[in-house]
Amino acid sequence: MRLFKRKAVVKNNSTPLPPRLVSLLREAWWLLMAVAAVYLVLILASYSPHDPSWSHSSPDPSVRNYGGAFGAWVSDLMLYLFGLSAWWVVVFCLVAISWGYKRIETLGLRLNPMTVAAIAGFFMLLLASAGLEGLFLAGKALRLPLAAGGMLGHFLGNAASRAFGLPGATLLLSVSGAIGLSLFTGLSWLDLMERIGTAIEENALKAWYAWQARKDREIGREVAQQRENKVTTEKKKAEEKPPVRIEPPVLDIPVSPKVQKPVQQSLFSAPGDGELPGLALLEPPKEQAEPVSQETVEYTSRLIERKLADFGVEVKVIAAYPGPVITRYEIEPAVGVKGAQIVNLMKDLARALSLVSIRVVETIPGKTYMGLELPNPKRQIVRLSEIIGSETYQNLTSRLTMALGKDIAGQPISADLAKMPHVLVAGTTGSGKSVAINAHDPVAAVQGDPA
């Protein structure tokens, strides 16, 4: 056991070459291989079958080869033996340059198994290439001293073809060349295939992403063009669309001539028979607040059209009627649009217009339009004195005349209770139902009829 360990130590502790000698050997090897590669390229490229050479003689003593007579002989011998595959010797010289850098310093001048395997792999590659050349380039007009593949290639190609057939010979020589190249250069075919597969996959992904990006850009340009066309069309429609007809609101209700009498001076003076108290008992109407401007009505009309168009319903605002409390917009649905579609979108439209609620009038008597009633930002106060003092109220002779208020346009509304066998007063909480009923109780009592 001790002897074995001692021998192992002695074997592993070989004396390395001095650094100075390693540097000189590396430079000499590099120069030798570089010059050999350049010389081989010159003599192989300038080969001429008319030069006196190893395979034949020539009556012309002149040498055309750039390497001289020696170059003519060497090139003729290499091409005679290997054909065009003789150019692999140039590759051998170039690869041998890298050997001088990697192996002289670590292995010295000894032949190790790796070097022997590399040299054997080179000759395997050279012979396989010559055999393939003899199989597929035979009979071609090539400037060679013998034939394609040279003497060795012709022999190997014919022997392999007779033994295994042309496909088998091709497969055998190709595999031999691949193994020789792997031994010669240290190339791993599995690693090469993996790298090629990775490169193909990456390039395929890049091409896919580039195609997707190009499609996205095309779709973006199409969408932008469609948007631009839509904006242009909408702008043209807006320019060609006639303005909304806005009915001016009734701000002041003229007082009927029947009530233009001297104002009652005392609250306790008894009026004459059948004479009602004067309007001085009621608070006179104050100056009305500023009505909704035409610009606001026009803007709201276009906003209604645009918001309904966003929901897929096309309408056109025809007219607007600003009133003291609400503004009614008369809309004309497009062909094929049902009224139920607009009714179902009222909550969404109210939210889009920042309103609490919107009332839909599906049928307007005497018109083919629908109505949208939107609350005004500022409501006007309706005074009872305005309604009672109007001609509408005063022209009714019934003793059960009721002052109801104003309509959407601000006109006074009165009704004869005697003509109403049944009355339904409807409205939201706080809209004034009870006030309307209680306000008419004393009127009915004064006129002598039960309320």
In a domain, 427, yes or no: yes
Q: What's the structural domain count of the chain?
A: 3
Shared-domain flag, residues 349 and 368: yes
Shared-domain flag, residues 26 and 77: yes
Q: How many CB atoms lie within 10 A of CB 374?
A: 22
In a domain, 241, yes or no: no
Residue type at 280 in one-letter notation: A
In a domain, 393, yes or no: yes
Shared-domain flag, residues 78 and 99: yes
- In angstroms, the CA 391 to CA 288 distance is 20
- In angstroms, the CA 49 to CA 14 distance is 52
Q: What is the CATH number of the domain that holds 312?
A: 3.30.980.40
DSSP 301-368: HHHHHHHHHHTT--EEEEEEEE-SSEEEEEEEEPTT--HHHHHHTHHHHHHHTT-S--EEES--TT-S
Q: How many CB atoms lie within 10 A of CB 63?
A: 20
Shared-domain flag, residues 307 and 415: no
Residue-range definition of the domain harbouring residue 163: 20-187
Closest by alpha carbon to 354, among 276, 300, 294, 420?
Answer: 300
How buried is residue 125: exposed, middle or buried, by Cβ count under 10 Å (0-12/13-18/19+)? buried
What's the predicted TM-score (pTM) here?
Answer: 0.45
Q: Quick one: pLDDT at residue 262?
A: 46
pLDDT per residue, tens digit, the chain (451 aa), is 444 444 444 444 455 566 666 677 777 777 888 888 888 888 888 888 888 777 777 676 777 888 888 888 888 888 888 888 888 888 888 887 776 655 555 555 556 677 788 888 888 888 898 888 888 887 776 778 888 888 888 888 888 888 888 888 889 988 988 888 888 888 888 888 889 999 999 999 999 999 999 999 999 999 999 888 888 877 777 666 677 777 766 666 767 666 655 444 455 555 555 566 667 777 777 766 567 778 888 888 888 888 888 888 888 888 888 888 888 889 888 888 888 888 888 888 888 888 888 888 888 888 888 888 888 887 777 777 788 888 888 888 777 788 888 777 678 888 888 887 777 777 777 777 777 677 665 444 334 343 3
Q: Quick one: pLDDT at residue 288?
A: 60
